[in-house]
Amino acid sequence: MNYAILDENGVCMNAIVAEEEFAAQIGAIVLPNGFGIGDTYDGIAWQKAVIPAKEKPMAEPTEQDRINAALLLEIAKLKAGVKA
């Protein structure tokens, strides 16, 4: 059977397959199907862990973005040359 080893806050830190007697010896509790590491147990019910949404990948720069970057670089070079 599947068992959970919880931390002091009720968060499942490890999941094991064990005999009932061994699980009881180490203080593990029954882990229902569908729950696992990161999920929490409050003594009454299990809660799924909140998984943060992935950040959207940055869009590829457009041709206009490349032109703007090149112009800014040229302006910076010109300013540096004026100061010298």
Whole-angstrom distance, CA of residue 41 vs CA of residue 11: 6
User: SS3 for 25?
Assistant: helix
- Asked if the model's pLDDT at residue 65 lies above 70, the reply is yes
Whole-angstrom distance, CA of residue 11 vs CA of residue 7: 5
The percentage of residues in the chain with a pLDDT greater than 90, rounded to a whole number, is 71
Whole-angstrom distance, CA of residue 4 vs CA of residue 14: 6
pLDDT digits (tens, 9 = 90+) for 22-58: 999 999 999 999 999 999 999 999 999 988 878 777 7
**HSE, side-chain direction, 13 A CA sphere, residue 54:** 3
Q: Residue 39: which of 72, 57, 15 has the closest Cα?
A: 15
